[in-house]
Amino acid sequence: MIIDCHGHYTTAPGALQTFREGQLAALKDPSSLCPGCNPAISDDQIRESLEKAQLRLQRERGIDLTVFSPRASAMGHHLGDETTSLAWSRLCNDLIHRVCSLYPDNFVGVCQLPQSPAAPPAHSAAELERCVTELGFIGCNLNPDPSGGYWTSPPLTDRHWYPLYEKMVELDVPAMVHVSSSCNPCFHATGAHYINADTTAFMQFITSDLFRDFPTLRFIIPHGGGAVPYHWGRYRGLAQDLKRPPLPELVMKNVYFDTCVYHLPGIELLFKVTPIENILFGSEMVGAVRGIDPETGHYFDDTKRYIDALALSPEDRGKVFAGNACKVYPRLGAKLAGRV
Ligand SMILES: [Zn+2]
């Protein structure tokens, strides 16, 4: 079985975006949005939005199941306030639930949290619980920077975040560290802000005792762990200089990287330096990079090809494509018991 741990509903029907534009317009003109008005999206529109995109690519690439969440760049936690974010998050999460209900063999849900720069993370716990216990979701996307590129929140290791972590531990669900769009012109969203956040989160984990406080807390750092695998020696050396334990003991029981790295040399490096137990197959299709690599003739985000080229042992292949995901997302492991 092949599980893609990183997919977003980037092809959602246009009515969703229309709603969002109305919601944001209403921040300036409250009369422009009818309260409680939800976009009318039919099951057929959902099917159409997926059949030609994610479902087609799953079939073509041999992917069985995608861990699916709302479009990350559209989370826009910096827009409006906590009320705005909660309404938008609930709507996006409910739509993911409809996708998973229509295609239970192809998708399993991960939620967007109703974060907002001025809101304590504790306020996201209720929506996380609703999504896990009522909608059957298996994790969440946690934005370390709800300000959208200005980093006004405390580091992920600060006690500021602990109430949300307590809920994650209670529900036994992991979080993918995932920023949204950037309103800071210095940082291109997917080219800089995303990779910065991945790298930043890892360094924050090294400098804290977060995982001593929460031994079972788990994070997936996407996009291949940002710059971390490439600079593995730097992080090992920094941990040593800072009198911290070695990385395997300090963070690698709690932190995992996906394989959203869009060329073979990058994947080779990721697998060379990262313990196999810490790598989860992911592609983020249909996502940030949608074109075909002229050097290979294949889509950049067809990451399964790169992993296939590594000639892993059957055991390691099983871990990367399914086994590790079932451990990191125990609720997925329970759903798939007997299938993996
Ligand atoms: Zn993503």
Assess contact for 174 and 168: CB atoms under 8 A. yes
For residue 196, being part of any structural domain is answered with yes
At residue 33 the predicted structure's pLDDT band, cuts being 50, 70 and 90, is low
Partner residues linked to 141 by β-bridges: 112, 176
Q: Which residues lie below 8 Å from residue 150, measured CB to CB, with a gap of 6+?
A: 183, 184
- In the chain, the number of structural domains is 1
CATH number, position 128: 3.20.20.140
Assess contact for 146 and 120: CB atoms under 8 A. no
Assess contact for 333 and 326: CB atoms under 8 A. yes
For residue 340, being part of any structural domain is answered with no
pTM for the full predicted model: 0.96
- CA of residue 86 to ligand 1 center, whole Å: 20
- CA of residue 176 to ligand 1 center, whole Å: 9
Tell me, rounded to whole angstroms, the distance of Cα 26 from its chain centroid.
Answer: 29
Cis peptide before 286 (omega within 30 of 0): yes
| CA–CA separation, 94 and 111 (whole Å) | 9
For residue 272, being part of any structural domain is answered with yes
> If we measure between CA atoms, which residue out of 310, 314, 311, 340 comes closest to residue 326?
340
- CA of residue 120 to ligand 1 center, whole Å: 23
At residue 197 the predicted structure's pLDDT band, cuts being 50, 70 and 90, is very high
- CA of residue 243 to ligand 1 center, whole Å: 33
| Segments forming the whole domain that contains residue 108 | 3-335
Q: Edge-to-edge strands of the sheet including 111-112?
A: 111-112, 140-142, 175-177, 219-221, 255-258, 279-280
Helix (H, G, I), strand (E, B) or coil at 276: helix
| CA–CA separation, 193 and 248 (whole Å) | 27
What is the token pair recorded at 244?
A: 């911290």
- CA of residue 259 to ligand 1 center, whole Å: 11
What proportion of the chain, given as a percentage, has pLDDT over 70?
99
Q: Which of 19-28, 102-111, 129-138 has the lowest mean pLDDT?
A: 19-28
At 280-312, the pLDDT tens digits run 999 999 988 999 999 999 999 999 999 999 989
Predicted pLDDT of residue 45: 98
Catalytic residues, which ones? 284
Residue 114 has pLDDT above 80, yes or no: yes
Predicted pLDDT of residue 298: 95
Residue 338 has pLDDT above 80, yes or no: no
DSSP per-residue codes, 263-308: SHHHHHHHHHHS-GGGEE-----SSS--SEETTTTEETT-HHHHHH
Residue 77 has pLDDT above 70, yes or no: yes
SS3 content of the chain, % helix, strand, coil (to 5): 50, 10, 40
